[in-house]
Structures are given as C-alpha cells and as structure tokens.
Chains A and B, each alone.
Chain A
C-alpha cells in the first residue's frame, strides 16, 4: 500500500532509537526481567482469568457511572476537609496548582511520582514561576537530574543502566563518589532527598485509586517517598485523571493486586497509602491542608465513545509496554507522548488527534501481546484497529478527535481496487496467474517492496497457485 506523508515523529524517533544498541539492550534486559516476574505471579491461569475478569468489571462499572461517582467523590472529599479543584486542560491544572502554592506562600515542593504531572509538564511550569519542584521517586529523581522525561510509566529511568546512573549521580551531586553499588547509589539519593522533605513547603503526589464512597485517595509506592511527600510538608496537593475513581473501598484490593503483580511482579508493594483528610487538631503530623486536583485533558471526550471509553479503564500498570515487541525495541522516548507503548498508541491519538498521531496508530503488528496481559481487559489491538478506521473511514457522528484525517486519497483508492479484485474470483485468479507466471521477474527494488527487501530477500510466488493445484488434483469445487 502507498505510504503518504504525514506526521512521522514516532517513525523518525524510533529509527534513531533502533540504531542505539545500548538502549536496545537496556530495554530488552529490563523487559525480560519484568515479563518473567509477572509470569511467576500469574502462574495459575484460572486465578489470573478470574481476577482479570473482576478487575475489568470493576473498572467498567466505575466508568459506566463516572459522572455520578465523581460527584460523590467530590462531596465526600469536601466533607472530609479535602478541597477539590477541577481542571479541564493541563494549563488549567498548572494554574490551579500554582494558585494553591501561592496562597500558602510555598516556594519549595517535593513530588511523589505522578503521570498526570508529566502530562502537565508541571516541573517546568513551576520552575518558570519561581517554585522549586523536586522529584522524590528515585527513578524520577534520576531523570530530573538529567533533564529527561520518563521512558516508562512505572520505571521512568529504565532506559538507563547502572553505569549510566552511577556516572550521572557522581557528576551531579556534590560530594558523591562514583559507585555502581545499588545500595550506595540509593543511599546518595536518599541523603539529598531526606533533607528536602523537611524543607518543603508543599508535597505533590498522584492518585492510584480514588474511592467515591469514602473520599479516600489511594497511593501505591515502594520507596516511602510517597508517604513522605504527602505527610511531611504542611500542604499536600494530589493530582488525578478523572477516570481514576472507583465506587467502593471493596473495589480497591482486586485492582491493587492486579496492579502490583502486573507492574513489577510484586505480590504487594512496600507502601500503600490511604489519604482521607488533613491533620486534625488531635494529631501531631500530616498536612494541614489537602487538595485534590481532578484533570480532564481529553478524557471526557474519550468517554463519549462507548467502545473507546475502555481506554479509560487503564490502571497504569505498564504491563502492555513490558510485553510489547515494538516498545522493547524502540524504548519509551520514541513515542513522544506522556504514555508510551500500547496504551500510548490508543491514548495519544485520541487526545492529540488520530491524524496528528497516525504514525502511532500504524505502529503495531497487532500481535495481541498487550491485550493478553492487560489486567483490566482493555482490548488494545481492537482499539488500534478502530482508530485506524476512524482515521480512514470515520463513523458518521464520530466523536474521535481528528476523525477522517489519517487516510489519503491514494490509499483509499488502492483499497477500493484491492476490494474489487478480491470480490471477483476471475480478477483474483488473473492476479494469481500473473504473479506466479512472472515470479522470476519481480524486481526487488519495486517501491512497494523496498521496505520489505531492506531486511529480507524478495518474495517469490510459487509456480502454480493452490487454486490450480486443487483443480488438477481433482479436489471438489462445491
């Protein structure tokens, strides 16, 4: 099929990533490890099937009642003393965070890990406005030191190997010596961060699950930095995408189990924080003020389409990227979107437009590995195909952003011709005859074949088609 020019951001970035053998090795090693840890967690296929069904049902139910649950969550939070702010865009969210900080006179912030804050490019925004914002998750801290963005939603610095991290910390932290010992490296970062937790005027975190019934914000983490960021500074601001709400406390344990086992292959994480209100007078610690900022950023538009709304079930475990043969080879930065890998392939085109990110929609062999491991049953490959349809032949009344902007005249003509020849047996057989009789003359440099033959020999049709063989072997026609 003809390839039309369009946005080639992903293709170009992937092309350079593929030429970096160190990067490819880092990802392969890391992903292999994560795949086998997850596999050990779900060794019992029946338990996996049942838990996945339960998790999918909980997320589907939460989404089916999304507007109502969000209202309940807001009511509960307010009742508990957590202030709630709504942000339609990332600009709104940034502005809201800044206003809150200013109202408390806060100029130093420590952050727990939050992908929503990555969507907002919050650190840059705060720095521009005179607020120091320090990442306290080890991986996030490392990439912040290096001026990078996360390459994985769970392990943001996974593209770096131990030596690269050792060199970075040795260079950037005063008084730190070069060491490749993991415990020592962690110790270096810990010493810097400890001090910062106590100096900070405010802490910012993400939210893994927000419980409508009780107004509880759940935060899953391994390093304790999440607890420090949300409990030590006098102000805590929690950031969440509006899809993160669940109905009841009972909904949390199955999702939590699916999350940690799918993400890192852990039965449970070291820390699980449940935040319900600011410090009361009788308490000696905890923040004096807690805010919840709920971000839309294109989510409510995704929610409008009954099939594509499944995108919002995502609990951000990262398993789809760990198992993706494309992600493993090009790494997370090539996607040039906050969320890389398969979830990014369905999310970014919906938030940025299917035409604008068409190269992402195209970048799948539809092998199905992501859909197989997704703990909340998001049919990622099917949604990729759906987005390809929306790009080429949108449904009437489509709500998908940029619907109809991904195809091209040449391409749609090519497919029309293809359909014609494959609907008419005579035409089809004629094509088969031509290909088989001319098989020795197929030039490997034919433009449509050039992509194929860059890594493979020229395909040669057989001397006679199966149609012919079957006929001469006397196989019945009807």
Chain B
C-alpha cells in the first residue's frame, strides 16, 4: 500500500504544527505526541504560540464574519511556506476546504488558498509524506478505531490510520460496528439538539463497549471528548486515546 521511503529531498525540513483548540485544552499530551512523532522523522516542528482555533464553531453556526476574522488571524501566523500539520481531520477540513470560501471575492483569498494548499492531517502526513516506519515497543494490546466524519469525508482519510496501526506488531484492531457513522458531536449540534446527539453517542459508546477492546482510538478531539464523556457516564472501562498519543507511547525509545 505504501511505497518505499521518500527521497530525502522531498521531506520538508520544517513544518508548522496546528494544535487545534480542543487538543490544546483537553488533549495536550496527544498534541505533544504528534510533535514528537514528526520530530523523530527529522523535521523541525514550529508551534506558533499565537494560534488559537480554526473558527469552525462560528462558521458551522452561520457566523461567517466572526469565522473570517479568526481565520485571517490564524493564516497570518503561519506565513512561511511550510506544510501545516493538524492532529484533527475536522479542523484540517475546515482550513483546507472552507477557508477559501470565506474569502471569496476578498483580496485575502490568494493567501487563504495558499494556506489551504499547505494543510495536512497528521496521520496522512506521517504516512504519505514522511512514510514513517514504526517499531512497536509496547505490550500486546487490543484497540478499536473510530473514524471522524470530517477526516473521512472532507479530508479523504481512509487507510492512513489503519496502515499506521498495522505497523504495530502487538496491536490488534477490533473493528467497530458502523464505524463511519457520526458519533453525534457536531459542535453546537450537541447543545442545540441534545437529545438527538445523546441518542447518537449512546449508540456509538455501546458499539465501542461491544468490541471488548479496552482502548478507543480516534484522530479527532471532538469525537474523543464526546464518546469518552458517554463511556465515563455509563461506567465503561474503556480508555479513549488520540491516535497520536497512542503511536508515540508505543514507539518511543525507553
């Protein structure tokens, strides 16, 4: 599935890292793990301290002018021509696909397009650009994987997480029933339509529990927060972990 190593000259020397607000606040260890995974491949990682949020919450709620103001402030902090790696398919999708439409007819459009062209979701960047080779140093483990809707449908991330997990010799991935069905997060949707959102996350958490795997992996903070909240509320002993953190913890030299 993945061809041999990238020639050294195609590997970028520097990358930007866009942590996302949810990882910043709820999964900072996962964020840092993503940085470590990139650094181990010999790229210099730059984390602009001025970054905040991609603006998706406002955009999805119909408040484009607010989203535009925030988007602009983000783009301006990532001005060098380096790839921007994002440990979230959802935020990556926002920046790649919706930033340009926010600046439709605006002189800033060109910069938005240039920025959008540099956006990479983390697992995809590890697999397709850096072509990482992972060495499993962990104990045998069983996990299940939840794909995020935006990673799947906006960023086209299908095989990348699986191909990374497949490199870990002692990790068994138990398939999740209805894997590609939404977990019910949807940002403000969870607040606007709490009962429907709850019905969705109940089903998702039940499917996770039914796999019997003690660890749930996902590549998006929103899904993790949502499913983890439900698992915890129902007393399920499943540990929700961001894939970046899981990969780093299992492969780091001890």
Contacts and interface: CB of A to CB of B under 8 A. Distances in A.
Given A329-B200, A422-B70, 20 more contacts: A18-B196, A326-B193, A362-B188, A363-B189, A365-B182, A368-B150, A368-B152, A368-B154, A389-B62, A406-B62, A418-B57, A418-B66, A422-B21, A423-B69, A448-B191, A452-B191, A455-B233, A467-B49, A473-B32, A476-B44
Interface residues of A, number: 73
Contacts of A448: 191
18 contacts: A14-B195, A325-B200, A363-B196, A365-B182, A365-B197, A369-B149, A415-B58, A418-B66, A419-B58, A423-B52, A452-B229, A453-B229, A453-B233, A455-B233, A462-B26, A475-B35, A475-B46, A477-B49
Given A3-B192, A368-B150, A419 B200 contact: no
Interface stretch (A82-90, A189-197, A428-436): A428-436
> Which of the listed residues B23, B24, B55, B154 has the most CB atoms from chain A within 10 Å of its own CB?
B24
B117 interface: no
Contacts of B230: 455-456
A462 B59 CA distance: 26
B181 interface: yes
A467 B61 CA distance: 26
Contacts of A460: 26
B61 A388 contact: yes
Interface of A: 1, 3, 11, 14-15, 18, 24, 325-326, 329-330, 359, 362-369, 371-372, 385, 387-393, 406-407, 412, 415-416, 418-419, 421-425, 428-429, 432, 435-436, 448, 451-462, 464-471, 473, 475-478
A366 B192 CA distance: 13
Contacts of A419: 58, 63, 65-67, 69-70
A325 B196 CA distance: 9
Contacts of B35: 470, 473, 475
Contacts of A326: 193, 196, 200
B162 interface: no
B182 A477 contact: no
Interface string B194-207: 11111111100000
Nearest to B189: A365
A461 B21 CA distance: 11
Interface of B: 17, 19, 21, 23-29, 31-32, 35, 44-53, 55, 57-67, 69-70, 73, 149-150, 152-154, 180-182, 184-202, 225-226, 229-230, 232-233
Contact of A368 (B48, B153, B184, B202): B153
A462 B27 contact: yes
Nearest to A389: B62
Contacts of B73: 422-424
Contact of A467 (B24, B29, B182): B24
Contacts of B17: 470, 475
Contact of A14 (B149, B153, B187, B193): B193
Contacts of A457: 229, 232-233
A404 to B, nearest CB: 11
A244 B140 CA distance: 58
A363 B44 CA distance: 42
A422 B52 contact: yes
A407 B25 CA distance: 28
Contacts of A393: 62-65
A454 B198 contact: yes
Contacts of B200: 325-326, 329, 365
B44 A432 contact: no
A364 B63 contact: no
B140 to A, nearest CB: 28
B190 A461 contact: no
A164 B66 CA distance: 51
A330 B198 CA distance: 12
B121 to A, nearest CB: 15
Contacts of B181: 325, 367, 369
Contacts of A429: 49
A391 B64 CA distance: 12
B75 to A, nearest CB: 12
Contact of A462 (B28, B149, B150): B28
Contact of A456 (B19, B24, B229): B229
Nearest to B69: A419
Contact of A362 (B26, B70, B154, B192): B192
B70 A423 contact: yes
A367 B186 contact: yes
Contacts of B232: 456-457
B66 A452 contact: no
Contacts of A371: 153
Contacts of B19: 466-467, 470
B49 A366 contact: no
A428 B50 CA distance: 9
Nearest to B186: A365
Contacts of A454: 194-195, 198
A341 to B, nearest CB: 13
A252 to B, nearest CB: 30
Query: Closest 9 interchain pairs by CB?
Result: A365-B186, A456-B229, A388-B62, A367-B182, A455-B198, A451-B194, A419-B66, A368-B153, A466-B28
Nearest to A387: B62
Nearest to A419: B66
